[in-house]
């Protein structure tokens, strides 16, 4: 099966330090929001 959605870390797999995980958390959220904004502005530019 092709994995497209990231599964959780395996049992015993070490986690990255908290600051790096928080960085990913904020970074992924901002990147997702930015992607949404790009689509929204593109639609607006296309239609207005």
Question: How many CA atoms within 13 Å lie on the side-chain side of 14?
Answer: 2
Rounded-to-integer distance, Cα 10 and Cα 14, Å: 9
Question: How many residues contact other proteins, by CB under 8 A?
Answer: 26
The least CB distance from residue 48 to other proteins, in Å, is 11
Instruction: With beta carbons less than 8 A apart as the criterion, state whether 1 and 7 touch.
Output: no
Which residues within the stretch 7-26 sit at the binding site for other proteins (CB under 8 A)? 7-9, 13, 15-16, 21-22, 24-25
Q: Which residues bind other proteins (CB under 8 A)?
A: 1-9, 13, 15-16, 21-22, 24-25, 28-33, 35-36, 43, 47
């Amino acid at each position: 099966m092709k994995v497209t959605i990231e599964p959780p870390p395996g049992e015993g797999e070490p986690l990255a330090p908290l600051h790096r995980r928080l960085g990913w958390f904020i970074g992924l959220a901002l990147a997702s929001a930015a992607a949404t904004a790009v689509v929204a502005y593109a639609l607006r530019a296309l239609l207005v």
